[in-house]
Chain A
Amino acid sequence: MLKLTHLQKNYPDFTLDCSMDIHPGMITGFIGPNGAGKTTTFKAVLGLISRDGGEIRLFGRQTPALSAQDKQRLGVALAETGFSGELTVPDVKKILGAFYQHFDPLLFQKRAVELALPMDKKIREFSTGMRAKLRVLSAICHGADLLILDEPTAGLDVLARDQILDMLRAYAEENENRSILISSHISSDLEQLCDDFYMISGGKIICHEETDRLLSDYALIKVSSQDYETLDRSHILRRQKESFGFSLLTDQKRFYAENYPNLVVEPVTMDAYIMIMLKGEAM
């Protein structure tokens, strides 16, 4: 669906060098700290910024620049940007209808009501949450093959986040070839939604893993300094110094649980994984 091979963008104080592969039918998370290069990657893919090297293959074709026809097949929601604040929801419906060949005005209207978006207010009078909902709604009503969503749930309360995630799940289930590339700081959203995820730090992809495998096979082992010395470290990926000794990340939970029954072997959450990947030391 989308393949990036050493996509590069150079700024005086930052260099992006990103490779990733988004397969048809997959929901792929894109995680990393602020300033890691997530938004730069999205912008480069969408042709909003020029790229300094690398290759982008979209829908199986190499794309030096996205054509209007390519963009018809994309649904986009970017953080902190959207339609002009001078417009209203009915205006947005008209505009999207004029832009997208397969825009479904009835679906848009139905979802707008479900999301409780005000019809008579200008967007600039919307709350942060309402704007976020409208951004996602604008991306999912024209039958796009690939959704590119940058922080789509930012600023939403738990209920609204759940609504949006349900909509995205329903969207993906409607057609088995549809893909979603989504970035979020709310790791629980990604745990629930994504089939796999890429993690970026300092402009480079530092890992790619399937979400199910992360939740089933990865673990955090908490050991004292003495236990650490005697531990078989052949399956340890990262270690982080703690007051009690070390936190260790492994992708062989069962091995340590079976062979070291006295150690604390905890299932890893996305948050814990991000923390140890960013702050820990590679083994």
Chain B
Amino acid sequence: MKGLLIKDLCILKNQKRILPIYALLSVWFTVVYDDGFAFSFLVMMGTILTTSTISHDEADHSQTYLFALPFERKTYVAEKFLLGGLLILASLVLSMVCTGIRALFFRDVHMEGLLELIIVSISSGLLILAVMIPLRIRFSGDQGRIILYSVFAMVALGGAALSNLLPGVSSQVSESFLSIHPVILTFILLLVSLILVVAGFILARRWIMKKEF
């Protein structure tokens, strides 16, 4: 696990073109937007960076050598989820620092709803990890990317179709959601995300065990 984590951190450290752009954008979003957009942005970047390490592992058949190193296949999956969790955490810390700096200079930071925002950001990041990690492990290279975009498109189109076909039901669902206290709602979202992370972990582990290099 330690070796895999160090490898991924070294790969990320060497992304000298991308990381400064992320840093600049996060500072920019924190300064310009006051609605916590930087939180969501950084968490998304964390999840994208996590799955990008799988792409780096696949490039130039590196995975063949990697899986000859002393670790169990299931450890690979656990490490990717751990890395994703760490990057989400790092994103939140960075967002907090940026928000703190903004508070020092502009003194117009609105703290209400901050907890909900953080939990929603974490939940979204976990949801993305739960979907992306198994899919990137199951489908390699371009095939993986196509499947991933297709899943997101299907979810979006399915949701839109459902609300058009069943307007009564969808408004009832919306009303039921809105009647729940926002804090409780965000914790429900977090719980659902965690359950999906466990499901994604089990699925990814099953797929990695069958993979041939």
Residue positions of A touching B, CB distance < 8 A: 43, 46-50, 67-69, 71-72, 74, 76, 78, 80-88, 91, 94-96, 98-100, 122, 124, 135
A-B contact pairs, 9 of them (CB 8 A): A49-B213, A82-B60, A84-B59, A85-B62, A88-B14, A94-B10, A95-B6, A98-B3, A98-B6
* Residue pair A86, B15 in contact (C-beta under 8 Å): yes
The 6 closest A-B pairs by CB, nearest first: A99-B3, A71-B70, A98-B3, A91-B10, A81-B64, A48-B213
A50 to B15, CA, bound (A): 34
Q: Which residues of A contact B10 (CB under 8 A)?
A: 86-88, 91, 94-95
* Residue pair A85, B70 in contact (C-beta under 8 Å): no
Known contacts A91-B10, A95-B3; A84/B70 CB under 8 A: no
* Residue pair A78, B65 in contact (C-beta under 8 Å): yes
Write the chain B residue with the least CB distance to A68.
Answer: B70
**Dominant secondary structure of chain B at its interface with chain A:** helix
- Residue in contact with B14 in the complex, picked from A48, A87, A96, A98, CB distance below 8 Å: A87
Q: Which residues of A contact B68 (CB under 8 A)?
A: 46, 48, 71, 74, 76, 78
Residue of B5, B59, B68 with highest tally of chain A CB at under 10 A: B68
* Residue pair A43, B64 in contact (C-beta under 8 Å): yes
Interface residues of B toward A: which range? 20 to 34
A135 to B68, CA, bound (A): 12
* Residue pair A100, B57 in contact (C-beta under 8 Å): no
Known contacts A43-B213, A49-B212; A83/B70 CB under 8 A: no
Residue of B7, B57, B59, B63 with highest tally of chain A CB at under 10 A: B7
B42 to chain A, nearest CB (A): 22
Q: Which residues of A contact B28 (CB under 8 A)?
A: none
Q: Which residues of B contact A100 (CB under 8 A)?
A: 70
- Residue in contact with B7 in the complex, picked from A48, A80, A87, A135, CB distance below 8 Å: A87
Known contacts A69-B70, A72-B70, A99-B69; A83/B6 CB under 8 A: no
- Residue in contact with A84 in the complex, picked from B56, B72, B213, CB distance below 8 Å: B56
Residue of B61, B62, B75 with highest tally of chain A CB at under 10 A: B62
A187 to B60, CA, bound (A): 27
Known contacts A68-B72, A98-B6; A84/B64 CB under 8 A: no
* Residue pair A87, B11 in contact (C-beta under 8 Å): yes
Q: Which residues of A contact B61 (CB under 8 A)?
A: 80-81
A92 to chain B, nearest CB (A): 9
Q: Which residues of B contact A86 (CB under 8 A)?
A: 10-11, 14-15, 56
B83 to chain A, nearest CB (A): 14
A49 to B2, CA, bound (A): 24
A50 to B75, CA, bound (A): 18
A61 to B14, CA, bound (A): 41
A69 to B15, CA, bound (A): 32
* Residue pair A81, B62 in contact (C-beta under 8 Å): yes
Q: Which residues of B contact A95 (CB under 8 A)?
A: 3, 6-7, 10
A71 to B3, CA, bound (A): 14
B33 touches A (CB below 8 Å): no
Known contacts A88-B14, A91-B10; A48/B59 CB under 8 A: no
A28 to chain B, nearest CB (A): 19
B71 touches A (CB below 8 Å): yes
Q: Which residues of A contact B187 (CB under 8 A)?
A: none
Binary contact track B8-30/A, C-beta < 8 Å → 1, others 0: 00110011000000000000000
Q: Which residues of B contact A82 (CB under 8 A)?
A: 60, 62, 65
Binary contact track B63-85/A, C-beta < 8 Å → 1, others 0: 11111111110010000000000
* Residue pair A68, B212 in contact (C-beta under 8 Å): no
Known: A48-B213, A85-B62. 5 other contacts (CB 8 A): A49-B213, A84-B62, A86-B56, A98-B5, A122-B14
A142 to chain B, nearest CB (A): 9
A66 to chain B, nearest CB (A): 9
Q: Which residues of B contact A122 (CB under 8 A)?
A: 14
* Residue pair B3, A78 in contact (C-beta under 8 Å): no
Write the chain A residue with the least CB distance to B5.
Answer: A98
